[in-house]
Structure 1
Amino acid sequence: MNYAVVTRTTECELIEKKSRFIARIVPVASREEVNEAVAAARDDYPDARHHCWAYLLGQPRDARSAGMSDDGEPAGTAGKPILNVLQHGHLGDVLIVVIRYFGGIKLGAGGLVRAYSAAAQQALEAAPYQEAQPVSHWRARGDFACEQLLRHWLSTCGGEVAEVTYGEGVSLALKIPAEDESELRALCAGNRIDLEELL
């Protein structure tokens, strides 16, 4: 199933009872990128009281990985509302960090949930996006001649070699557009290349 991805980091701002909520939406492809983006938000807004966030990798309604943090706000009032917005949205491979500057007026649990949800929704709607191309991951093993054959084929379909291991033969981790799976299977079957799908 196709889903959309953010094409560039975007920020929006929401003021709620003098508290300032800055929602930053960031394209991410791994947990490492999530950690880097959260650290960058902390560096960019070091004097903010809270840096709450949620992310999901993969499709919005069927993420392969997701996570969240309330970062000192009462449990369930920040990270969970942000994640809920992402899960009901149209974007995958995405992180939203909501940076809060406390304005002196307590919002209460319900007010915090509404404010974090609204800030996240605003960022989701403001972010530029494009359709993501579904990809699949494979391991191909064969003699040394198969490497050149596979590299040539990958260059024609927009796939890539993620890793190469040399031993008695060669083992290649491949990342290809999902629509080209049957062509890869046929190529490998016709050239005695062992192929296995990586999940």
Structure 2
Amino acid sequence: MTQRETLKQNRAAIAAPLPPKLQQAADNLKWSGRIGFWTQLVLGIISAVTVLFASISLGDPDRNRTQGTEFGILCAVLGLIVLVVAMYFAWRYMAISRLLRSPNPAQRPSKPDTLQVIRLGLTVNMVGMLIAIIGAETIAGIVLAKSLSLPPNAISAEDLSRFVNSLDLLIVQANTNSIAAHFAGIVSSLVLLDRITR
């Protein structure tokens, strides 16, 4: 094949429109990736700031601490680390969308490869959500036990760690935001799986 023939084929490939199914898959990947990425980013930042405040409060030696609070913070931090990986997959969906729009069919990822990336993103979000749920359930159980152990109208300065404090609630909030962020990633991946496997 001469250079002129190769150039003609490349021009024809560029001028040819994408098949409708491929165009729709690229659009779905772009929008699901974009919405998933930004939703996870916003909720992740809120959760990270909340964990930061909780960690600062945990470092205060004058503060009365609750047993088990550290585990809740650990789960929140681990959930955020997994969220960063999940955000990479949401970004990857947008990159795959760009590759699918490539005029050169050899550069386009195959359907099985695309589905594998989506399934990996779904798995990462499910693991992150599980970690955040464990952390939230742990601290919620501690808060519930504290509130149930106090008699009604009890006010005592003897042992302040028996009362529900702001640190406990900050950790619950951080884990809840992390759960919501991972949920957004799960929904994004499930929508993609549904639309691409049709």
Query: TM-score band (shorter)?
Result: under 0.3
TM-score of the pair, normalised by structure 2 = 0.23
Structure with more contact order per residue of length (Cα contacts < 8 Å, sep ≥ 6): 2
TM-score of the pair, normalised by structure 1 = 0.23
- Tell which structure's C-alpha radius of gyration is larger: 2
Structure with the higher strand share, 1 or 2: 1
